[in-house]
Amino acid sequence: MLQVNNIEVVYNKVILVLKGISLEIQDGGVVALLGANGAGKTTTLRAISGILDVENGELEGGQIDFMGRPIHNLDPDEIVKLGISMVPEGRRVFRDLTVLENLLIGAHTRMDKEGIRADLEMIIRYFPVLKERKGQLAIYLSGGEQQMLVIGRALISRPKLMMLDEPSLGLAPLLVTEIFNILRSINGEQRTGILLVEQNARIALNFARYGYIMENGKIMLDGPSEELVKNEDVKEFYLGVKDDLAKKSYAEVKHYKRRKRWLS
Amino acid sequence: MESGLVFFLQLLGSGIAVGCLYALIALGFVLIFKATEIVNFAQGEVIMLSAFICYFLVTTFHIPFFPALVITCIAAALLGVLTERLVLRPMLGEPVFAVVMVTIGLSIFFRSMAGILFGHNNLVFPNPFPSETLKLGGIVLSQTQIWIMVSTFVLITAFFIFFKYSRIGLAMRGTADDQRVALLMGVSVKRVFSLIWALSFATAAVAGIFLANVMVINLGLAFVAISAFPAIVLGGLESIPGAIIGGLAIGIIENLAGGYLDQMIGGGIKDVTPFVVLFLLLMFRPYGLFGKKEIERV
Ligand SMILES: Nc1ncnc2c1ncn2[C@@H]1O[C@H](COP(=O)(O)OP(=O)(O)OP(=O)(O)O)[C@@H](O)[C@H]1O
Ligand SMILES: [Mg+2]
């Protein structure tokens, strides 16, 4: 469904941030994009959504195809209409709009009033808390509710592909599990493809069927999730399971603390 | 009725009429600022240009007042679209200071265009309304004052319905709130901006046309925008209800102050009061009564 082909992105005309990224998502697929801070994950999503220019960024090379047609020259509204919607990082609700209005603005590209109403019902089935909060300003929701709201807001445009940027950030583990369960049922029932950006590799690889690992604007590694979780490097750097390493740093911390106490 | 009360209500009534004009002028500024974070210093010139346009439609072209008002608003809206497209859009992403300088340049351009097109004479708008006054239980209002209030009320109600219930109105509020996320929702921010400039200029046109009915028309009409500044600051630059309430409040306060204090101290109080209010406000609530202190939630 989506092919990203060797794209390069430059910010402020000088900083080369993506150095040839390629990735692919099948119809209804669930793919994770992992990497440390500053690897270029958000930039990749911005390039797909067509919103680089407001960030002073530019696609310098490569090609992005969606459903068999190039989209890298399209305006963001056309890309939404084709069926890609994005849940930006940091739970960016519209603070001055109510919960219902936040959802409705997500349907901006749609004209079928009946369909929108039906899909509002669908979203409330997935996120029942939003119903009670319908008339409240979005800024008064809790973090978890805001995350649900922004997912609902992306869903109401009826995307074929939904891209989520670090939806787990800053949420309690139980809530993260709940949100990922809902995402899984959305993927199963609506056949919505999902491109998930995460720093939390454990959650992401557990959720996605395929993963890409980014470092410094390049894809270092990719493969089915069950292979990635077995990979030694992934284990060490992204899942943090190399035991003696963990112990060693713990000992160092303790040593440092002891020393500090002694000094003071 | 007791004469003291009548005097008070009389001042209140004409204060509301003036306040409506302040509110409309303030609204023009706030619409643009809220969506684009630009303070448009050419707003006063749009008011002045509209007054001239409507004047010539009525006198030279013999168009009745209300159709002339509508035509002037449409012309102002088109000017707004053109201004955004040709002057402001190329400035997208430039520093705020540069953009503000551009709007000041624009104001000078508009003023000289008006000088060339309409001349430097004082013109007097032929009163479109019968000159009989209306008496509502002791207080006397001119028909112009009544029409100012009615038009402002209609316009503000229309805005309210538009922003609250229409798809585009919602998109505009979303854009004002978070432009980047609005883009992700498929909102064409470019189109929202040009519509906002159109609405703002049309609002300025309504203000200008009614001002033309109560003041002489000349190039100096552009400077009335400055007298609306206290109203804007009172309401906060980002709040539409604030602009309306701020405008009404300043209109009422200056009229009351003028009515009661002028007798004691003698002339001029009326013109100073708004700025006294402005000064006090800047000391105690610099972001206005309705403006937001930025709350950042991280
Ligand atoms: N608007 C911008 N202008 C200039 N440089 C930027 C901009 N946005 C991001 N960058 C730079 O591009 C690089 C990649 O940033 P990006 O936000 O894509 O990383 P990320 O993988 O999403 O990181 P994180 O996990 O912290 O969100 C970083 O070095 C960052 O400083
Ligand atoms: Mg990021």
pLDDT tens profile A203-214: 899 999 999 999
Inter-residue contact B287 to B236 (CB < 8 Å): yes
Closest by CA position to A214, among listed A203, A231, A229, A199: A199
**Of the candidate ranges A62-71, B46-55, B93-102, the one whose mean pLDDT is the lowest:** B93-102
A46 lines ligand 1 (CB under 6 A): no
> Which of B184, B188, B240 best tests the A interface by mutation, with the highest count of A CBs <10 A?
B184
Angstrom distance (rounded) from CA B208 to CA B217: 9
Inter-residue contact B111 to B220 (CB < 8 Å): no
CB-side neighbour CA atoms (13 Å) of A127: 27
Angstrom distance (rounded) from CA A9 to CA A122: 37
Residue A139 forms contact with B (CB below 8 Å): yes
**Could you give the residue ranges of the DSSP H alpha helices within A83-142?**
99-106, 113-126, 129-132
Determine, for residues A97 and B179 on separate chains, whether the beta-carbon distance falls below 8 Å: no
Of the listed ligands, the closest to the CA of A199 is 1
Looking at residue B112, its amino acid is S
Q: What is the dihedral of CA A112, A118, A119, A120, to 10 degrees?
A: 110
The reply to whether B294 falls in a domain is no
What would the two tokens of residue B32 be? 């643009």
**Eight-state DSSP code of residue A137:** B
Q: Is the pLDDT of residue A241 over 80?
A: no
Angstrom distance (rounded) from CA A4 to CA A24: 6
Residues paired with residue A212 on neighbouring β-strands, in sequence order:
A33, A222
Residue B174 with chain A: CB contacts under 8 Å:
94, 97, 105, 108
**Of the candidate ranges A229-233, B153-157, B222-226, the one whose mean pLDDT is the lowest:** A229-233
DSSP assignment string, B212-272: HHHS-BSGGGGGHHHHTHHHHHHH-TT-HHHHHHHHHHHHHHHHHHHHHHHHHH-S-HHHH
Residue B134 forms contact with A (CB below 8 Å): no
The reply to whether B297 falls in a domain is no
Angstrom distance (rounded) from CA A139 to CA A99: 9
Helices B143-165 and B3-36 cross at an angle (nearest 10°) of 40
CA of A37 to the centre of ligand 1 (A): 8
Of the listed ligands, the closest to the CA of A43 is 1
Residue A199's pLDDT band (boundaries 50, 70, 90)? confident
Q: Is the pLDDT of residue B27 over 90?
A: yes
Looking at residue A246, its amino acid is A
**Secondary structure (3-state) at B108:** helix
Closest by CA position to A156, among listed A194, A184, A117: A117
Distance of alpha carbon B112 from its chain centroid, rounded? Answer: 21
Q: Report percent pLDDT > 90 for chain A.
A: 78
Closest by CA position to B179, among listed A85, A88, A120, A184: A88
Residue A85 with chain B: CB contacts under 8 Å:
184
Angstrom distance (rounded) from CA B195 to CA B170: 13
Cα–Cα distance list, B219 to A215, B48, B68, B188 (Å): 62, 7, 20, 36
**Secondary structure (3-state) at A214:** strand
The reply to whether B181 falls in a domain is yes
Section A55-83 average pLDDT: 93
Residues paired with residue A181 on neighbouring β-strands, in sequence order:
none
The reply to whether B235 falls in a domain is yes
- The residue count of chain A comes to 264
Residue B285's pLDDT is what? 76
Residue with more model confidence, A180 or B270? A180
Side-by-side strand order, sheet with A2-11 = A15-25, A2-11, A57-66, A69-70
The reply to whether B229 falls in a domain is yes
Q: Which residue of B has its CA nearest to A162?
A: B184
For B50-96, the three-class secondary structure string (H helix, E strand, C coil) is HHHHHHHHHHCCCCCHHHHHHHHHHHHHHHHHHHHHHHHHHHCCCCH
The reply to whether B252 falls in a domain is yes
> Total structural domains in chain B?
1
CA of A52 to the centre of ligand 2 (A): 13
Helices B43-59 and B65-83 cross at an angle (nearest 10°) of 140
A39 lines ligand 1 (CB under 6 A): yes
Q: Is the pLDDT of residue B29 over 90?
A: yes
Q: Which residue of B has its CA nearest to A96?
A: B177
Q: Which residue of B has its CA nearest to A81?
A: B186
- Which of A77, A96, A101 is facing B186, going by the closest CB pair? A77
Distance of alpha carbon A259 from its chain centroid, rounded? Answer: 42
Domain that holds residue B240: 3-284
Of the listed ligands, the closest to the CA of A165 is 2
Inter-residue contact A143 to A91 (CB < 8 Å): yes
The reply to whether B226 falls in a domain is yes
Looking at residue B232, its amino acid is I
Section A121-148 average pLDDT: 94
Angstrom distance (rounded) from CA B268 to CA B31: 31
End-to-end CA distance of chain B: 58
Residue B3's pLDDT band (boundaries 50, 70, 90)? confident
Residue A254's pLDDT band (boundaries 50, 70, 90)? very low
Residue A240's pLDDT band (boundaries 50, 70, 90)? low
Residue B170 forms contact with A (CB below 8 Å): yes
Distance of alpha carbon B263 from its chain centroid, rounded? Answer: 30
- Which B residues in the span 42-101 are in contact with A, Cβ-Cβ below 8 Å? 93
Q: Which residue of A has its CA nearest to B181?
A: A92
Residue A145's pLDDT is what? 94
Place of tokens 């009826």: A158
What would the two tokens of residue A97 be? 């709009």
Place of tokens 């119809």: A27
Average pLDDT, chain A: 89
> Which of B162, B185, B239 best tests the A interface by mutation, with the highest count of A CBs <10 A?
B185
Looking at residue A101, its amino acid is E
Residue A251's pLDDT is what? 47
- Sort strands A30-35 and A161-165 into parallel, antiparallel or unpaired: unpaired
ipTM for the predicted complex:
0.86
CB-side neighbour CA atoms (13 Å) of B153: 8
Q: Is the pLDDT of residue A185 over 60?
A: yes
The reply to whether B192 falls in a domain is yes
CATH of the domain at B168: 1.10.3470
Determine, for residues B186 and A76 on separate chains, whether the beta-carbon distance falls below 8 Å: yes
- Sort strands A210-215 and A218-224 into parallel, antiparallel or unpaired: antiparallel
A58 lines ligand 1 (CB under 6 A): no
Residue B177 with chain A: CB contacts under 8 Å:
94-97
Inter-residue contact B230 to B10 (CB < 8 Å): no
Residue B4's pLDDT is what? 85
Residue B236's pLDDT is what? 83
